[in-house]
Structures are given as C-alpha cells and as structure tokens.
Amino acid sequence: MKTEISAAPLEDGTAALALLAKLMPWLTGKHSLEEILHAINAALGASLVWVLVEQEGVPQFTRVGEITCTLQDAVTLLEQSQLRRNLRAWRVICWRRHVGTLLFPENTLVGNKLKSGILCKLHVQESGLSGYFFVAFPQSTLSLSVMKNVVIILVEKLKSFLVEIISRDRAAKEIQHVIEQYKALFDRAPVLMNSFDKNNRCILWNGECERLFGWTLEQLNQQPDPLALFFPDPLVRQQVRASVNTSPAVDMHEWHPVRRDGQVLTVLWSNILLPDHSILSIGLDITARKKAEQQMERKATIDDLTGCYNRFAILQHLKALLVSCNPSDPRSHFSLLMLDLDHFKNINDRWGHLTGDAALIHFCDKIREHSDPSWLFGRLGGEEFLILMPYTSSKSALRFSQKMRATLTQTPLLSIGEKITLSFSAGLVFVTSDQVDTSVLLTLADNALYDAKRAGRSKTVIAGAFL
C-alpha cells in the first residue's frame, strides 16, 4: 500500500512535532490497522513495523514493511532472556545496532538488513488488552532518543485505536487521555505553537509563545486584531494571514514579529493543515542564531578597527564592478582611489600605537562622513585604503580628495591634549572597461600613489600626471 506521507529526518523536537501532526489523521477508526502501520512505516523511514496484541489469550499479529516477518520471528525476539528476566522493569527498549540478528538469529542475510529498533509495550488494563509495538530501521539512527519519544506517543495513540476496535465505548476516554498528553507536550515543548480561528480568535497559545512574546492567551483575545500586536505593518499582516489562511504548508518561512517589549524577532514558521481544516502554526525562534550569523558575516567582511570593508571584501567589490563595467555605458564606469596616510610611522613612534589606531579611526570616520552612499570604502592593510566610486568621474574623485585634505586640516585628531593634523597621498584610476585585471588596476593606483609620495606627499596623482 502507498501513503502520501514521506520520511523526514528527526533531528529535533520541531521535526518530531511536525511528523506527529502529519500522522494524527491516520490514527483513527477510519483506517485499518494495516493502513495505519503503513503510514507510520513510511513516515519514520523504517523497514519493518509490527504489532502483536493479545486479548483473552487470542494473539493478533500485523506486519508491514519491506522485511518479511512472521509471528514466530516476533516471539523469538520477545523470548530473549534479557527481556524475559526484566519483563516488568521496562516499558520501551531501544537498540542502536544488531536488532536484526536478535529478530532473525538463524537468518543473518535478512538480519543484517536491520540495524536499530524500538520495542514498546502495549497494555490497556481496563480492556484486558496487552501486546507489543515494534519498529526497525536499516541504519543506526543517530536521533534515537527523539525517535523513542515519537514512538511512545504513537503507541499511546495506537492503543486508543486498538481499544476502539475492541470497545468503541471505551475509546473516548483513551483519546481524551492522549489529547491531554499532547496539550502537556505542546505547553512544555521548546518550540512556538499557536492556532487562530477564522474570526482571528487565538485558540492555541503554548507556553513558549507566552514566554517569548510576553502575551497570554487571554490578553490576546481581548484585542480586536491580535495579529496587529506582532505585525504592526498592515501589508506584512496581510501577507501573514495569506500564508496561514490561504496556503498552509510545512515549509519553514522567516518572519519578523514584534514582542511585547518592542524587540523585533526572527522566527521560522510552518503552517500545518489539520483534519478539521484548522491550522497549527509551529515556529522556532532563531533571533540569537541570526544575530550570531550577522556578526560572523560582519567579522568576515569588516575591518575590526576602522569599521570599513577589509581587504578581501573590498577586492571582491572591485571584481564585481569590473564585471559590470561596459565601455559603451558611462553609467558603469567608476573611479578607484587608493589612499595612504602620510607619516603614519612617525605617529606610532611619537605617540604610540593606541594613538596610531585612533588616527586610523579618525581618518575613516571623516572619509565616511563625506562620502557618497554609493561608494565602497575598504582597508587594504596598515594605513593603506581603497575607495571605489561608481558613477564618479576622475575630476569628481579628485575634488573629493582635495576636499578631504581640507577637512582633515580643519578637524585634527585630538590626542592627550595635542592636535595631530592628518594628511594623505593618493593614486587615482578611472575605469571604463572590464578588460582589465584587478591586479593591474591596483598596480596602476599604487604607482600613482607612490608618485604622489615622491612628489612631496599630501597630493593625488591620476595615472601618471601630477594634479
């Protein structure tokens, strides 16, 4: 039999909850036991699932999966001395490896196809029902603890189904018991779970939602539109409603809700359509992770001291500008200005390296203060910097360098009561073609820069001429 459920890796509680939500519609009296086991087998990615139940001394064995297994094979596993000796002491047993050799001790060819497995007791005292649920996998499952919890919940629900077959009058209590277990699980799970009805009334709001957002279920339902608390922008709110009410999906999408104290969060949400056509939203707060990623990204591209791009990042931007540069399109041409602080070694020698660092920071702050927003500013190393100026002619770039010298003269660095006037030399290259290698451009700018230094410093040279 084929099912519409496919296996997904169970790496954490969020994946387990999503999988359980998919399986819940199958665990009802509308399906046969075999159909239910097929759905569980497919969802868990197992090779074998069987249930052995006994009531009033009559055994019933049902098996699904690619591995053929008989009632006698199941009995062989259950007759293991370790299980028999501690029969009353265990409820669920997990094997990380070699479970196939225990199930098929005389058939190693088949036994070697099964690695890990979980065996769980089935017992309902009121109905006199007892038995076992078993699932085996072709690999050693790394997330066996998560799988174990999933199996325990499935077995609890499966017991309700089996009791319903035997006595439908008793099934209602068992189902209610499972619902209460789920409610406790939802309230304590470290993931966000909520659900809103068509009238915007919140009908499920678990403990993690209350902790993260700062609102209780009662407080939400006192609002005319609770969603506005989290998404003040009407357009964003409309997009959120469309994703929940119109196109529910199990894919995770990134949203940025606002918590009660005004902090903007980053949350991954997945919407799961339930059998009664209501929608369960499951979310994961990744605000801290996102912030860490941004910090790592910044550290990889930004110079720690000056806050401008580091050498790698600014050269990557240079390559990108060269790729887009077209001789016939003046809008793609750009200026490249290489700058070097004059007498920087003397600053370090006279006032110390802390003052030298302060000089670099002061210089970069002034550059950023007067730069066009479209320009890209980076540190090549030491006291040498590079400015990439899209849509800027060489004359405009030259005027900027002259303006910056005047600015640095008017606003010297203040250090320990002294005024230190900074100056710089620069080499300027105007780029109109993509048929130039970055190393060639940098060499041209570097040569022009050192021509400026040899000419007395505090000058800008454009590719071979003093200006």
Domains in the chain: boundaries: 13-188, 192-289, 302-466
Whether the CB-CB separation of 441 and 431 falls below 8 Å is answered with yes
Report pTM. Answer: 0.46
Determine the angle formed by the axes of helices 287-301 and 311-324, rounding to 10 degrees: 80
Overall fold of domain 302-466? Alpha-Beta Plaits (3.30.70)
250 bridge partner residues: none
pLDDT at 166: 53
β-strand pairing of 279-285 with 192-196: antiparallel
Q: What is the pLDDT of residue 169?
A: 37
Task: Tell me whether domains 13-188 and 192-289 share a fold.
Answer: yes
pLDDT of residue 170: 46
pLDDT of residue 126: 65
Q: Are 363 and 341 in contact (CB under 8 A)?
A: yes
pLDDT computed for residue 156 by the predictor: 85
Written as six digits, the tokens of 149 are 């919890």
Residue 426, phi then psi, degrees to nearest 5: -145, 150
Q: What pLDDT, on a 0 to 100 scale, did the predictor assign at position 360? A: 96
- Report CA 104 to chain centroid distance, whole Å: 42
- Which CATH fold topology does 192-289 show? Beta-Lactamase (3.30.450)
**13-188 adopts what CATH topology?**
Beta-Lactamase (3.30.450)
> How confident is the prediction along the chain (467 residues), in pLDDT tens digits per residue?
455 555 556 667 788 888 888 888 887 767 778 888 999 999 888 999 999 988 667 788 999 999 999 999 999 998 886 777 777 778 889 998 889 999 999 898 999 999 999 999 887 766 677 889 999 999 887 678 888 888 998 888 888 777 666 554 345 556 677 777 777 776 777 889 888 887 878 888 988 999 999 999 999 999 999 989 999 999 998 888 887 755 555 577 889 999 999 999 999 988 877 777 777 888 889 998 888 888 888 888 999 899 999 999 999 999 999 999 998 899 999 999 999 999 999 999 999 999 999 999 999 999 999 999 999 999 999 999 999 999 999 999 999 999 999 999 999 999 888 899 999 999 999 998 877 789 999 999 999 999 999 999 999 999 843 33
**Structure tokens belonging to residue 60:** 């019933």
Q: What is the rounded CA–CA span in Å between residue 450 and residue 11? A: 58
Residue 266: the pLDDT is 93
Q: What is the spatial distance between Cα 198 and Cα 344, in angstroms, rounded to a whole number?
A: 68
